[in-house]
């Protein structure tokens, strides 16, 4: 009797198969998956879910698997914001949710920092940048309120097994070039629908060399390509980082002879190769991340505001990058530098390292650890301003002002541009 070899599977297929209780799944197949963790925030969660759950007379399937983060409308600055945040806080108290994080940072940063994501998990989030979880070898994607209602009641969701686009980054990035530059380059090449409903997998020497927070930026911005998930196979970097963030008990077999945590050779994937060593800093012009070109093509474009914030540009590594450029210097006259750390934990560490002092001495205005101007909240971007930001998106009106011209770049590039008062290649000012 002949024993059939199991079909070669991508990492995406393996994660979905695990959640579906299967040994393997085929691309295009629709399967029902058990959800390990559901995350939502003050904007996407209680104010929408509460009335729907009450209308159904339904309860949450497993409160221990639910995470609520208040990050979009905090600190509350008007009556509408106070109403939204009050609904979230009251509902969390009434439901006795065990995992609630109020005003301590952006959900995509706080959730892994609090140990809620592990390799192999299948997770959903009430935010389009939920693919951030893929940096840890978890299958995590964003869903809308109606889908989240189904998850809240049943603990399950169906998914169509996606094709995989494997982004193979060979060699290593040069100093002053980051994961943000990698992603802007990919979006510029493939467009905002280039990976629509697909799984994007990041691999290669350059990816393996990235810190955990840099990997989070890659996975996060796979959403800008239209992908469902952005996956990175877990490794020692993953295990070490998670061990420092509440997962000391993590048992992760990283034996290279075992393929459980990575795509199999011959698995169905479209492979694109890139040379990381030749990548220059990237800038996306208004009003789309797909309007990306090398920083040199924007030389001399004036800057009014430099914004270092958001889940893609104000984590500890991002703050370190900006400070390395601004050390002992001051931003150009007429430039407003705003810094909104991604979490209180990252801000505290940055304070301990002297990074925040460096940024303040350079002229930075430190804002609350929240989504802030990235989601158009807070009224910090004036009409007609030319902004260079570390955010993930630069859609017209995204940051509040419809007349603002927003350019996207890495923390290095944003800091260098603030220093000179115009878009600048950070390699020109780095020691």
Sign of the C-alpha dihedral, residues 421, 422, 423, 425?
Answer: negative
The CATH number that domain 11-160 falls under is 3.30.499.10
* Average pLDDT over all residues of the chain: 93
Pick among 3.40.1060.10, 2.60.40.10, 3.30.70.580, 3.40.50.800: CATH of 164-248+267-277: 3.40.1060.10
Same fold, 164-248+267-277 and 281-428: no
Token representation of residue 64: 């221990």
Residue 258 has pLDDT above 60, yes or no: no
Q: How far apart are CA 200 and CA 143, in angstroms?
A: 17
In the block, tokens 């409308």 appear at 73
Average pLDDT over residues 173-178: 98
**Residues 261, 264, 267, 270, CA torsion sign:** positive
Fold of 281-428: Aconitase; domain 3 (3.30.499)
306: left (phi over 0), alpha (psi -120 to 50) or beta: beta
Work out the average pLDDT over 2-19.
87
30-59 burial code (b ≥16 CB/10 A, e <16)? ebebebbbbbbbbbbbbbbbbeebeeeeee
Report CA 50 to chain centroid distance, whole Å: 26
Per-residue confidence (pLDDT) for residue 90, from 0 to 100: 97
Judged against a pLDDT cut of 90, whether residue 250 lies above it is answered with no
Residue 239 has pLDDT above 60, yes or no: yes
On whether the CB atoms of residues 399 and 386 are closer than 8 A, the answer is: no
The tens digit of pLDDT for each residue in 373-424 reads 777 776 678 888 999 999 998 877 777 788 889 999 999 999 999 999 999 9
Q: Say if residue 281's pLDDT is above 90.
A: yes
* pLDDT category of residue 64 using cuts at 50, 70 and 90: very high
pLDDT(195) > 70? no
Mean pLDDT for the stretch of residues 74-92: 94
Percent of the chain with pLDDT over 90: 84
Supply the pLDDT for residue 253: 63
Sequence-distant (≥ 6) Cβ neighbours of residue 387 within 8 angstroms: 303, 304, 305, 306, 307, 381, 399, 404, 405, 406, 407
Question: For position 186, what pLDDT does the model report?
Answer: 97
Domain coordinates in residue numbering, the chain: 11-160, 164-248+267-277, 281-428
Q: Is the pLDDT of residue 255 over 60?
A: no
The pTM assigned to this predicted structure is: 0.95
Q: Is residue 249's pLDDT more than 70?
A: no
Please give the pLDDT value at position 193.
Answer: 82
Mean pLDDT of 8-14: 96
């Amino acid at each position: 009797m002949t024993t059939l070899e199991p079909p070669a599977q991508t990492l995406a297929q393996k994660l979905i198969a695990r959640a579906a209780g299967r040994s393997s799944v085929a691309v295009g197949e629709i399967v029902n998956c058990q959800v390990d963790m559901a995350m939502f925030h003050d904007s996407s969660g209680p104010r929408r879910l509460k009335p729907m759950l009450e209308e159904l007379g339904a309860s949450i399937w497993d409160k221990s698997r639910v995470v609520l983060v208040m990050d979009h409308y905090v600190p509350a600055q008007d009556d509408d914001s106070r109403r939204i945040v009050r609904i979230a806080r009251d509902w969390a108290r009434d439901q006795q949710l065990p995992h609630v994080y109020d005003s301590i940072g952006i959900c995509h940063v706080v959730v892994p920092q609090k140990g809620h994501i592990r390799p192999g998990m299948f997770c959903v989030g009430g935010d389009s940048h939920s693919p951030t979880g893929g940096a840890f070898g978890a299958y995590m994607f964003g869903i809308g309120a109606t889908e989240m209602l189904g998850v809240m009641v049943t603990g399950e969701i169906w998914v169509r097994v996606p094709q995989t686009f494997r982004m193979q980054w060979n060699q290593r990035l040069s100093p002053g070039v980051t994961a943000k530059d990698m992603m802007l380059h990919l979006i510029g090449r493939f467009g905002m629908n280039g990976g629509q409903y697909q799984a994007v997998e990041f691999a290669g020497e350059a990816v393996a060399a990235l810190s955990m927070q840099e990997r989070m930026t890659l996975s996060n911005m796979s959403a800008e390509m239209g992908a469902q998930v952005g996956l990175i196979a877990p490794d020692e970097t993953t295990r070490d980082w998670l061990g420092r963030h509440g997962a000391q008990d993590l048992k992760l077999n990283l034996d290279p002879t075992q393929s459980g945590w990575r795509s199999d050779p011959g698995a169905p994937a479209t492979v694109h190769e890139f040379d990381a060593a030749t990548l220059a800093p990237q800038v996306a012009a208004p009003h789309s991340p797909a309007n990306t070109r090398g920083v040199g093509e924007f030389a001399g474009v004036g800057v009014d505001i430099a914004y270092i914030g958001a889940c893609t540009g104000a984590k500890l590594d991002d703050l370190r990058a900006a400070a390395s450029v601004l050390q002992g210097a001051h931003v150009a006259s007429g430039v407003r530098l705003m810094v909104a750390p991604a979490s209180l934990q990252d801000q505290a560490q940055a304070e301990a390292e002297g990074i925040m002092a460096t940024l303040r001495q350079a002229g930075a205005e430190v804002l609350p650890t929240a989504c802030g101007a990235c989601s158009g909240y807070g009224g910090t971007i004036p009409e007609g301003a030319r902004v260079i930001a570390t955010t993930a998106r630069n859609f017209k009106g995204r940051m509040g002002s419809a007349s603002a011209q927003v350019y996207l770049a890495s923390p290095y590039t944003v800091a260098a541009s603030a220093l000179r008062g115009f878009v600048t290649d950070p390699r020109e000012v780095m020691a």
